[in-house]
């Protein structure tokens, strides 16, 4: 994606977490394997940042501790942390997380995606927009926008 100027020219880059190793219980097909925080985190950690060739995990935009799965109540809560408090990409990043989870998870889940409290100037506006499924639906019918989101979601080859 071409940008005239990077908003955050020098973001801090963090280490990626190790891949999840499957436990014996998980390899046993007779044991019910419920969704957990790590599994949902794995779905979103490799989403690309819109302006840097880095993943949301590498920029600490998403973190495993900020993903909460409640299987019984079919609820998933994801907080994401914009790299800078005035980040104009916050809605786009949140939308990418929503779309990725929408496509990957069973429809029974109610997914809430919100900015980590206190990390963005327009936190409330961004949260309200991301929670409005009508506006999200309209955005996803926008061919330009969906192209940009798909670029963010498409995983690059893991290094």
Of 147 and 156, which has the nearer Cβ to another protein?
A: 147
Of 19 and 73, which has the nearer Cβ to another protein?
A: 73
Helix (H) or strand (E) holding 151: helix 143-153
Nearest residue to 40 via CA among 119, 97, 116, 114 = 97
**Where do the DSSP E strands lie in 63-159?**
67-70, 75-80, 110-115
Binding site for another protein (CB under 8 A): 107-108, 110, 128, 131-135, 137-138, 141
Least Å distance between CB 38 and another protein? 26
Least Å distance between CB 141 and another protein? 5
Of 110 and 156, which has the nearer Cβ to another protein?
A: 110
Of 20 and 133, which has the nearer Cβ to another protein?
A: 133
**DSSP for residue 85:** T
Strand partners, 75: 70, 110
Least Å distance between CB 111 and another protein? 12
Q: Residue 39 has which token pair?
A: 């599994």
With contact defined as beta carbons under 8 Å apart, do 85 and 134 qualify?
Answer: no
Q: Which residues contact 30 (CB under 8 A, 6 or more apart)?
A: none
Of 133 and 147, which has the nearer Cβ to another protein?
A: 133
Least Å distance between CB 110 and another protein? 7
Considering only CA atoms, give the Rg of the chain: 16
Least Å distance between CB 100 and another protein? 18
């Amino acid at each position: 994606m071409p940008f005239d100027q990077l908003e955050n020219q020098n973001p801090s880059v963090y280490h990626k977490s190790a891949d999840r190793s499957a436990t014996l219980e998980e390899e046993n097909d007779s044991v019910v394997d419920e969704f957990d925080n790590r599994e949902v985190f794995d779905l979103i950690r490799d989403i690309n940042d819109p302006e840097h060739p880095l993943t949301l995990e590498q920029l600490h935009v998403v973190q495993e501790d900020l993903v909460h799965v409640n299987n019984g109540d079919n609820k998933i809560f994801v907080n994401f942390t914009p790299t800078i408090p005035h980040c104009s990409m916050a809605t786009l990043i949140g939308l990418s997380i929503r779309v990725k989870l929408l496509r990957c998870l069973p429809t029974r889940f109610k997914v809430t995606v919100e900015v980590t409290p206190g990390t963005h100037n327009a936190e409330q506006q961004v949260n309200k927009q991301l929670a409005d499924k009508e506006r999200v639906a309209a955005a996803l019918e926008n061919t330009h926008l969906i192209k940009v989101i798909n670029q963010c979601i498409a995983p690059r080859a893991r290094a």
